Structure 1
Amino acid sequence: MKILLIEDEIELQKSIKQYLEMEGNVLEIASDYSKAEQKISLYDYDCILVDITLPNGSGLDLIKEIKLKKSKAGVIIISAKNSLDDKIYGLDLGADDYLPKPFHLSELNSRIKALIRRKNFDGNLEIIVNEIKILPNERSVFVNDKNVILTSKEYDLLLYFIANKNRVVSKNALAEHLWGDNADRLDNFDFIYNHVKNLRKKLLEKKCEDYLQTIYGIGYNFKTQE
C-alpha cells in the first residue's frame, strides 16, 4: 500500500520508512507542514501518518485538509503530544487512530493493516472475491484453493484492483500507488502493462475468471459483476 509519513524527526523517519518498506509498502515522507500540504493536495494515499507538532504548522490542521479533500486515506496520528484533548480533537476531526510516541514499529504496522482492512475489506482477515482468496497478513493469494505465486508488485496490484473493483483505475493512479509520488514524471507506463499481463496470466493459469478489463487509453477495470 502507499503511505505518507508526516514527521520531522529524521531518525524516526528512517526507522519507520525502513520497517514499512520491508513489509512491502511504498512510503512517501513530508518533514514539515508545507511539504505535507503539497503532497496531500497532489497525490492519493492508502494511509497517512501524521505528527501533531510540525515545523510551520500543526498536524491537526492537515487532518482538516485531508477531510476537505474527501480523501479515502486512513489517518493515524503519531505524536509525543499525548494530551487527552489533542487525542479527542484529532479523532473528532476524522482521524481513525492515535498512537502515542514512543511506540513499537510492529504495533504501528499492525494498526495500519487493521485500518486498511476496516476501510477497504470490512475488517476481514481473509479477502474473498469469488474464487480468489487473499490472506493479507501472509501476503498469500489462492485461486480455487490453489496457491498463486506473485511478485511483490503483482500482489500489491491485485490488492489495489480488488479494493477498487468495478471501478476504472487509471494507469497514472496505478503507477503512483505502486512506485510512489514521482511516478507521474515517467515518460510512459509500459511497465504497468507488463505487470498487469503477468498478473492476469498467473490468475488464468489457476482457472480464475478473467476479471481484468483493459480500458484503452485510460487504464483498467477489475470487473466482478455485470
Structure 2
Amino acid sequence: MKVLVIEDNKELAGSIYNFLAAEGYICELAYHFEEAREKLLLFPYDCILLDIMLPDGNGLDLLRFIKQEHIQSGILIISAKDSLDDKVNGLEGGADDYITKPFHLPELHARLRAIYRRQKLEGNNLVSFNEIGLNTDTLEATINDTLLDITKKEFDLLLYFVVNKNRVLSRQAIAAHLWGDYTDNLANFDFVYQHVKNLRKKINTARGADYIETVYGLGYRFNASRT
C-alpha cells in the first residue's frame, strides 16, 4: 500500500512514517497544504492520512480538492479536534474514516487496512484471480494452491497487477507505487523490468498463465483474458 501522510507535526508524521515503513508500506510525507496539493496532482496513493489543521490551509478544503479532482484514494482524517461537527463534515465530505489525536499507531494501521480492503479488495484480505491467490495478511501468493517463493516487492507487484488488471501501467507508475515518489526523477526504470521478469518467471515455473504482457513504449498490462 502507498500512503500519503499530510500532517504538519513533524514528530507525529515521523512516527507514523516509521511505523508504516516497518509494516512494509510506501509512505510519503507532506507538511503543508500546498505541498500536499502538488503531490496529489503528481502521484497516485492508495490511502491518504489527512490532518484537518494545517499551517497554510484547512484539511477539509483539501478534502474538497481531492473530490473535485476525482482522486481515487481512501481518506482517513486525523485531527486533534474531537467535535462532532468536524467528524460529520469530514465524513460527509467524502472521507472514509476519522481518528482523533492522540491515537495508537496499531489502531491507525488497522483503520488504514480496513479502508484499503473496502476500496481495493471488496472488503476481503484474500484476493484471487483464476489460479492466482493472494493473502494480504500473510503476504503469501499461490498458483493452484502451490505457494510461490516470491519477495515482498514481487508480492506487492503481483497484487498491483491483479487489482489493476487490463489497465496499462507505466514503468514510472509501477516504480512510484512500489518504491516511492522519489523514483519520478530517475533516468531509467530498468529495475522495474527486472522485477517483472523475475515475477513472470516464477509464475511460469509454477505453471501459471502468463498474464503479464509488455506494452511496448508504455509499460505493462495484466491481461485477464489470457489463459
Normalization by structure 1: what TM-score?
0.97
Q: Alpha-carbon deviation of 1:158?
A: 0.8
Q: Alpha-carbon deviation of 1:56?
A: 0.7
* Runs of 4+ displaced beyond 3 Å: none
Q: Alpha-carbon deviation of 1:114?
A: 1.3
Residue matched to 1:157: 157
How many percent identity over aligned positions? Answer: 51
Residue matched to 1:15: 15
Q: Name the CA distance, whole Å, in 1 between partners of 2:138 and 2:103.
A: 23
Normalization by structure 2: what TM-score?
0.97
The 3-state SS of whatever aligns with 2:21 is helix
Mind listing any 5+ residue stretches in structure 2 that lack a counterpart? Answer: none
5 Å matches for 1:6-45?
6-45=6-45
Mind listing any 5+ residue stretches in structure 1 that lack a counterpart? Answer: none
RMSD: 1.0
Query: Does residue 71 of the first structure (1) align with residue 71 of the second (2)?
Result: yes
Q: Name the CA distance, whole Å, in 2 between partners of 1:106 and 1:161.
A: 28
Q: Name the CA distance, whole Å, in 2 between partners of 1:152 and 1:143.
A: 16
Q: Name the CA distance, whole Å, in 1 between partners of 2:70 and 2:52.
A: 20
5 Å matches for 1:52-71?
52-71=52-71
Q: Name the CA distance, whole Å, in 1 between partners of 2:24 and 2:14.
A: 16
Deviations 1:20-39 (A, max 9, x none): 01111111000111211111
| Structure 2 residue identity aligned to 1:53 | M
| Structure 1 residue identity aligned to 2:114 | A
Deviations 1:110-166 (A, max 9, x none): 111111111111111211111111110111111111111211211111111111011
Q: Name the CA distance, whole Å, in 2 between partners of 1:164 and 1:174.
A: 11
Residue matched to 1:206: 206
Query: How many residues get paired?
Result: 226
Residue matched to 2:193: 193
Residue matched to 1:184: 184
Residue matched to 2:99: 99
